[in-house]
Amino acid sequence: MTRIDATVSRDASMAPPTRDPRPLRDVAGQLEGVFVTEMFKAMRATVPDGGLASGGTGEEIFTGMMDGHVAATVPTAWSRGIAAAIARQLGDRP
State the CB neighbour count (10 A cutoff) for residue 24.
17
Predicted confidence band of residue 63 (pLDDT cuts 50, 70, 90): confident
**Rounded Cα–Cα distance for residues 65 and 85 (Å):** 27
State the CB neighbour count (10 A cutoff) for residue 77.
7
CB within 8 A of 82, min separation 6: which ones? 28, 31, 32, 35, 75
What is the chain's mean pLDDT, rounded?
Answer: 76
Higher pLDDT, 86 or 17: 86
Whether pLDDT at 65 is above 80: yes
Whether pLDDT at 8 is above 60: no
Range of the domain at 75: 34-45+58-94
Q: 12-51, pLDDT tens digit by residue?
A: 566 555 677 788 888 888 888 888 888 888 988 888 776 6
- Tell me if 4 is assigned to some domain: no
Total domain count, the chain: 1
Predicted confidence band of residue 84 (pLDDT cuts 50, 70, 90): confident
Q: Residues 29, 87: contact at Cβ < 8 Å?
A: no
- Tell me if 87 is assigned to some domain: yes
- Tell me if 73 is assigned to some domain: yes
Give me the helix-helix angle, 22-45 and 56-73, nearest 10°: 140
